[in-house]
Amino acid sequence: MKTRTNNPPIGIFDSGLGGLTVYRELRKILPSENIIYFGDTMRVPYGNKSTESIKIFSSEISQFLLSLGVKMIVVACNTVSSTSLDIIESITKLPVVGVIEPGVKLAIKKSKNKKIIVIGTRATVNSHSYKNKIEENDPTIDVIEKACPLFVPIVEENFVNHKASLLIADEYLGEFKSKDYDTIILGCTHYPLIKNLIKKVLSDINIIDSSKACAGYVKDILTNNNMLSKNDGDGWTDFYVSDKPQNFMELAYRLAGVKICKINIKRF
């Protein structure tokens, strides 16, 4: 069992399992950091909820993480990053990091022909947050957005390897096979968990995993602000969910390779 230290933890939250993709990348590059992860499994998916509801959920979870003494909040959810960062920033002076800006910067760097697809939940796509951020950085880039609302349930209900999932992926993305977009942004942290499914439909395209980009961004912020953990060894992690803890633990290991020995329940 890891020794508990007093170094303040990083707080991460998502609507469910998707944020584990960010957690996994953070663990690779910041192994000594203490982390608290919250998955709102009682209210997943967020993508079909109203903006007002998402803001309420985000505020509740952020205040809970702040009560546990986190040193920064990582919003490992594109839907929240698209709709509610302002709410979170209004209740704390600590660093708040979303997943959109890091993903956008990486996509612009990778695209050779300046043609980018963004896929995400309905809430993310309807907010046009990726499109606006891309055009803010480079107005000459051609951006097309596509909502893929069934992708999150495919992950959360463990249908990743079901034959129906490939049919759904092809229904969403098949239209792009004949077009010359060279880069696709996975605008939902659940989507890296179905990256292989997406590759089966769009095999010759740059796939931008915003989780990796976000983790690098977090490390830069901690380094530049002298906030890195002073742990000598590996940091600890506390996991919280709002419902179905056993299901979360099983899918976390099966889909994300994250082994969870203990999990806590927090409901609002």
- Please tell me the pTM assigned to this model: 0.90
Residues 93 and 220 placed together within one structural domain of the fold: yes
Residues 69 and 196 occupy one common structural domain: no
pLDDT at residue 204 is higher than 80: yes
Whether residue 156 has pLDDT greater than 80: yes
Do 146 and 245 fall within a single domain? no
* pLDDT band per the 50, 70, 90 thresholds, residue 4: low
User: Does some domain include residue 5?
Assistant: no
Mean pLDDT score, 1-6? 55
Residue 14 domain-assigned (yes or no): yes
How many domains is the chain built from?
Answer: 2
- How would you label 128-163 residue by residue, b for 16+ Cβ within 10 Å and e otherwise? ebbbebbeeeeeebebebebbbbbbbbbbeeebeee
Which residues are catalytic, by number? 77, 188
What range does the domain containing 236 cover?
Answer: 10-98+212-265
CATH number at residue 50: 3.40.50.1860
**pLDDT bracket for residue 210 (50, 70, 90):** confident
Decide if pLDDT at 1 tops 50: no
134 and 83 together in one domain: no
pLDDT at 5: 58
Average pLDDT over residues 256-264: 95
